[in-house]
Amino acid sequence: MPLWIDTHCHLDAREFAHDVDAVRQRARERGVGHIVIPAVDVHNFEAVRGLAHRYGDSYALGIHPLCSPGAGEADLQALECVLDAGQRDPALVAVGEIGLDYFVPELDADHQEALLRAQLRLARRFDLPVLLHVRRSVDRVLKALREVPVPGGIAHAFNGSAQQARRLVGMGFKLGFGGTLTFDRALQVRRLAQALPPEAIVMETDAPDIPPHWLYRSAAERDAGAPQARNEPGELPRIAQLLAQLRGETAQALAEQTCRNAQAALPKLENLMKNGL
């Protein structure tokens, strides 16, 4: 059975609160050997750290752009403190989830960008890669990265153009693919996932979000009473199987390549994988 790394999964989300042990076990039984658990604000730093140590996984610490309205200097100081302490923690592999989100119009763009740059500076200081959120904001994130270069990382749930992808890859980033590419109408994402060089791709679920098509419920179905099924890290092998078919590869080859890519993007993963699996 292929071994997979889920490079982006919010195991601390409330959707998993009642059965997180079973969720992690299902994923392991399906071949998901390692999960990277990103924080979204200072209030879940301890939760993601605890889950990573509990399951032999890894975690990232950062302030998500959707959490930017409540985040200020005190939050950045708290992040700096935990990153400093985390230098002795092999499971702390990145700064994240950080970035920009221009899909939500009420968010203050200037404040988001100031927060992103501050966190990029912290990543540079502690020599950590970053997990990037780039929703409708790739060019502005690229501009920030040119101004504050960091040791690479992963552009999570990438949905930009081929040109933007090349620029990120040229800066040392891998691109994360998950449930979106399972939809027949996601033509741009599928074309990009097929065309990228093998060393540019990592797998993710973003669970409990971005469910694959077999879990998705339309608005009409939800209005009729059908609940929106949650995504789980255990869905990753099936998502990856579809990507392997799109690329004309075997699942085993894709698993081996994307695991190498994840370790290249997040260098501390290599020792964790050696010691924990």
Q: How does pLDDT run across 36-85, given as a tens digit for each residue?
A: 999 999 999 999 999 999 999 999 999 999 999 999 999 999 999 999 99
The β-bridge partners of 37 are: 59
**156 labeled part of a ligand binding site:** yes
**97 labeled part of a ligand binding site:** yes
Residue closest to 206 by CA, chosen among 233, 166, 227: 233
The answer, yes or no, to whether residue 137 has pLDDT greater than 80, is: yes
What pLDDT, on a 0 to 100 scale, did the predictor assign at position 5?
98
CATH tag, 4-276: 3.20.20.140
* Angle, vertex CA 99, rays to CA 134 and CA 120, nearest 5: 135
**34 labeled part of a ligand binding site:** no
Residue closest to 202 by CA, chosen among 256, 143, 161, 136: 256
**64 labeled part of a ligand binding site:** no
**213 labeled part of a ligand binding site:** no
Q: What is the mean pLDDT of residues 17-28?
A: 98
Residue 251 to residue 86: CA distance in whole angstroms: 35
Task: Say if residue 208 is preceded by a cis peptide, omega within 30 of 0.
Answer: yes
Joined together, the tokens standing for residue 158 give 């990438």
CB 70 within 8 A of CB 112: no
**206 labeled part of a ligand binding site:** yes
> Which of 52-61, 81-90, 195-204, 267-276 is predicted with the least confidence, judged by mean pLDDT?
267-276
What's the pLDDT tens digit per position in 205-220? 999 999 999 998 887 7
pTM score, whole prediction: 0.97
What pLDDT, on a 0 to 100 scale, did the predictor assign at position 206?
98
Confidence of residue 277 (pLDDT cuts 50, 70, 90): very low
What pLDDT, on a 0 to 100 scale, did the predictor assign at position 71?
96
What's the pLDDT tens digit per position in 81-122? 999 999 999 999 999 999 999 999 999 999 999 999 999 999
